[in-house]
Structure 1
Amino acid sequence: MGHRERVQLMVGDWMQRLISPGKGYVPCPRKLQMFVWRLRHESLVVCANLMRRGLKLDQSKCFFCGRAEEDGAHLFIKCKHVKQAWRELGMEEERSRLEEFTSVHAMLDALWGFSEKKRVLVITLWWQWWNIRNEIREGELAPGVTETIRRVRCGALEYAERFVPKKKDRQEGKWRPPSADELKVNLGGAFIPGSSFCGWGAVIRDSTGHIIAARAGRHEQNADAFGAEIQAMAGAVALAADIGAVRVIFETNSQLLAEALDVRKTDSSPYAVVIEDIKLQLKLWFARHRYAHADEVRIP
């Protein structure tokens, strides 16, 4: 480990102790850790904190609802607009529990009583909400609640992939063949932040590992990594249908994609039309299909 990596590790450990002393690890980037630290020490530049320091403001109301004075509790928990975001996230019960506390320290201590997954979702929601608040302050157009929650879920899943220590087992990283009457489609998308296109690829193998078919492509007008995974899934479904596959396993390393394709749920993301079309194609072409999650799979 080089000097730079040692310094980053020391800073990360220091930040963890500051924002959650004795409470455990927070799997998120340094900028979110600093955000939570500022929240704990009431140093975010919300209007209430600025006025407490003697600054005179022309506007001190909430930038979302314009009704109540803007403080941390109102901005992240009590505002009617953020309440809608909590409901979209399926965490209204948790929001109500945090609303009972009058102290930010007590509230954050209660937050650390949540499961790690919920804790990261809440912190990611607050971070996204804070960024949107600043955009509104600068006169920019805010995204809708549905788009905000999509960003929150994507961010939380990304942090889980990057920062949660992976449990090692003997099967980790090994491609597993399908049963004799099934075919397995491994698929994936690639996206470079800042670009407007993505690449995708899919390969179909049988129970012996023999390659039946493969296809790759490029899709224009793509906004994020999740869009790349959606295009990869669409291409994989088309490839499997073209070769006449009947029973198929679609293996992807995107947990968000597998959740979006759940037939029991209606997707409301910007990719809803593509996702619903994929669901329809799956029903039309395959007698049986299922999904598998691959974590850094090494294909022979």
Structure 2
Amino acid sequence: MNVKRKQVELDTRCPICMRLDEDGGHLFLKCKLVKHLWRELQLEDVRLELLKCADPVAMFDFLWSLTRVRRDLVLILLWEWWNIRNKANHGGKMKPTEGVAYNIRRILDDFQNGSLQTEKHDTMHTIAGWSKPKEGFVNINFDAAFHVEQGGGAWGCVMRSDQGDVIAACAGRMDHLTSALQAEATACNRAIEAASEMGINQAIFESDSLSLVNAINSGERDLSSIDVLIREARSLCYASFDAFEFTFCKRSCNSVAHSLAAFGYRAGVVCSWWKDQASEFVCDLVAGDSAVHG
């Protein structure tokens, strides 16, 4: 490295792994911890191809040949890792790789949501605020809570009729989770099973995870870590409902399901149900949601 050749007294080790001299290739592609992050985001094949590139121009040419979702995910990864590197260089504590991956997924969701607002021809339904479903359908909002340190989380969902009345709500704990996206996909399948148990025939499922909704609606295979769960979701829907849809909603419009997931984690049980007559707890959540978006 130049600083060594010039005999400048400077620690050139990677501030993250503290093992090898730092350069761009090591920082973004070769560091032991960043390799774990690429794998966590199911981008190992991209990392290996980038290692073959002879210069930055070739790297960007390759990135622009990827699907939009994967390209955006890589760019966010690089930016987020640069920020983490700078914090580590100033003595900051390193987050678990799973937590970094969770943040990157969330940033991607927010970015894609903003991009979708400007596109004239959007193939995916986007919900700006909670509203009654079309006649004959039941609206099912679901959400997940993921806790990296414990490797677990929880799910919650609320079902409302085309008149806006609460039909049922449920929440429960989930174990053996490795990522936020896996938690969202598992919560989705729990919500589908709950709706099927209630005998619902026509369902509209709403989630604030754009990555998940895109994967279900488009058959996106880039998210291979949850591919089995996605296929299970589709199979359950085809077997259980006469008609179904999956739509994306903003996080602010998914507050009831979010609160139920938080309750499910605190309660620590596999599943809690509120049927027939919703509890005061659920009624208060729904009333607050209606007040904000009514």
Short-chain TM bin: 0.5 to 0.7
CA separation in 2, counterparts of 1:151 and 1:192?
A: 10
The answer to whether the aligner puts 1:124 opposite 2:77 as a matched pair is yes
Secondary structure of 1:262's aligned partner: helix
User: Residue 251 of structure 1 aligns to a residue in which SS?
Assistant: strand
How do residues 169-184 of structure 1 correspond to structure 2 at under 5 angstroms? Answer: 174-184=129-139
Q: Deviations along 1:260-296, whole A, 9 cap, x unmatched?
A: 3235333411x33323222211222122211121211
Partner of 2:247: 292
Q: 1:211 matched to which residue of 2?
A: 166
Once the two structures are TM-superposed, the CA of residue 173 in structure 1 deviates from its matched residue by: 6.5
* Number of positions where the alignment pairs a residue of Structure 1 with one of Structure 2: 218
Unaligned ranges ≥5, structure 2: 14-20, 89-96, 118-125, 256-288
The alpha carbon displacement at 1:160 in A equals 3.8
Q: CA–CA distance in 1 between the matches of 2:73 and 2:229?
A: 28
Aligned pair partner of 1:201 in 156, 179, 203: 156
Which secondary structure does the structure 1 equivalent of 2:184 belong to?
helix
Cα drift, residue 178 of structure 1: 0.6
Confirm or deny: 8 A CA contact 2:237 2:244 kept in the other structure: yes
Deviates more, 1:273-282 or 1:203-212: 273-282
Q: Residue deviations 1:170-210, cap 9 Å, x none?
A: x9963111111211101111123422321111111111101
- State the match for 2:276 in structure 1: none
From 250, 262, 279, the equivalent of 2:234 is 279
Distance 1:265 1:192 in 2: 26
- Alpha-carbon offset, residue 154 of structure 1: 1.2
Q: How far 1:249 moved relative to its partner?
A: 0.8
1:262 aligns with 2:217: yes
Report the TM-score when normalising by structure 1.
Answer: 0.53
Structure 1 CA distance, aligned partners of 2:44 and 2:149? 29
Q: Is the 8 A contact 1:196 1:221 kept in 2?
A: yes
> Aligned partners of 2:209 and 2:145: how far apart in 1?
12
Amino acid aligned to 1:222: L
Q: Is the 8 A contact 1:128 1:152 kept in 2?
A: no
Cα distance in 1, alignment partners of residues 247 and 72 from structure 2: 26
Query: Deviations along 1:27-63, whole A, 9 cap, x unmatched?
Result: xxxxxxxxxxxxxxxxxxxxx355455479xxx9xxx
| TM-score normalised by L of structure 2 | 0.54
Which segments of 5 or more consecutive residues in structure 1 lack a partner in the other structure? 1-47, 61-68, 135-142
Classify 1:150/1:273 alpha carbon distance in 2 versus 1 (closer, same or farther; 3 Å).
Answer: farther
Q: What does the per-residue CA deviation read over 1:223-272, in whole Å, with 9 as the maximum and x for residues that have no partner?
A: 33323212220111001111222221110111121123235333411x33
Do residues 72 (structure 1) and 27 (structure 2) align? no
Q: Distance in 2 between matches of 1:204 and 1:272?
A: 26
Q: Measured at CA, do residues 236 and 127 of structure 1 come closer, stay the same or move farther in structure 2, by a change above 3 Å?
A: same
Bigger RCO (CA 8 Å, 6+ sep): 2
Alignment of 1:1-300 (within 5 A): 48=1, 51-52=4-5, 54=7, 71-72=23-24, 76=28, 85=43, 88=46, 99-100=56-57, 121-125=74-78, 127-128=80-81, 154=105, 156-157=107-108, 160=111, 174-262=129-217, 264-266=219-221, 267-269=223-225, 271-295=226-250, 296-297=252-253, 299-300=289-290
TM-aligned CA distance change 1:119 to 1:268, over 3 Å: closer
Distance verdict in 2 for CA 1:120–1:232, change over 3 Å: closer
Secondary structure at the residue paired with 1:100? helix
Query: Structure 1 residues 155, 101: closer, same or farther in 2, change over 3 A?
Result: same
Identity %: 25
Q: Is the 8 A contact 1:184 1:205 kept in 2?
A: yes
Higher helix share: 2
Residues 147 and 153 of structure 2 are in contact (CA less than 8 Å); yes or no, is this contact kept in structure 1?
Answer: yes
Q: Which amino acid letter does the alignment assign opposite residue 268 of structure 1? A: S
> Secondary structure of 1:284's partner?
helix
